[in-house]
């Protein structure tokens, strides 16, 4: 499993450095005070679909056929993709939290209720897209699942862009106890998606 995770991170660095740069630019913009819903949500969405993007590189390189000769199960191959997803989401949420915390502190004080609620909302948003996409891609493959990939990303980006000042509204009205249920929803979404992906990938002919 350790080797699979190392392979995923090497693949991430080799092929997704542009995505990492875009995420960094949006995170800096958000920390600088431009905390619109779209600017906050977009890097989290990108972090959420990194695993889906890497699956397409696996298929192009013939990794799926090669991995059948390795001493690892299909469940482990799927789990490595979800572990990478969790690492990317966690790092992105951590950076958003630090950036927004610093911005709030400079503006007069950190509103922990607002910050935790924001991170809970972003966690659900970041988990929802890959939770939908990964089982489809593991069932159909990256090429056949590409249409679903683009449709889901477009829908989520449009929703984030149309959110407008929704984040500010939620900061004003949402209690801190909303953050934990939101994080639990994100975890449950990913757990269900992980189980479905394992089931689909085991049945798929490579």
pLDDT of residue 198: 92
Q: pTM of the prediction?
A: 0.81
pLDDT of residue 172: 52
pLDDT of residue 82: 92
* Among 1, 194, 181, 204, residue whose Cα is nearest residue 86: 194
Positions of the chain with pLDDT under 50:
164, 171, 175
**Which residues make Cβ contacts (< 8 Å) with residue 16, sequence separation at least 6?**
50, 53, 54
Direct distance between the N- and C-terminal alpha carbons of the chain, in angstroms, rounded to an integer = 21
pLDDT of residue 143: 73
pLDDT of residue 146: 65
């Amino acid at each position: 499993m350790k080797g699979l995770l190392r392979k995923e991170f090497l693949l991430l660095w080799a092929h997704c450095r542009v995505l990492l740069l875009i995420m960094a630019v949006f995170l800096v913009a958000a920390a600088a005070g431009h905390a619109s819903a779209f600017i906050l949500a977009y890097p989290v969405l990108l972090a959420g679909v990194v695993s889906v993007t890497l699956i397409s590189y696996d298929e192009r390189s013939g990794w799926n056929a090669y991995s059948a000769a390795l001493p690892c199960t299909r469940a482990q191959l799927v789990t490595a993709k979800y572990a990478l997803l969790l690492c990317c989401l966690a790092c992105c949420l951590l950076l958003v939290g630090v950036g927004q915390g610093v911005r709030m502190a400079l503006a007069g004080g950190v509103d922990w209720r607002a910050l935790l609620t924001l991170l809970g909302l972003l966690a659900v948003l970041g988990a929802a897209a890959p939770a939908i996409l990964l089982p489809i891609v593991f069932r159909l493959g990256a090429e056949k699942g590409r249409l679903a990939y683009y449709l889901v990303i477009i829908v989520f980006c449009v929703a984030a862009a149309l959110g407008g000042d929704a984040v500010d509204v939620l900061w004003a009205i949402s209690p801190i106890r909303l953050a934990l249920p939101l994080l639990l929803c994100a975890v449950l979404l990913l757990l269900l998606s992980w189980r479905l992906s394992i089931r689909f990938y085991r049945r798929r002919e490579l």
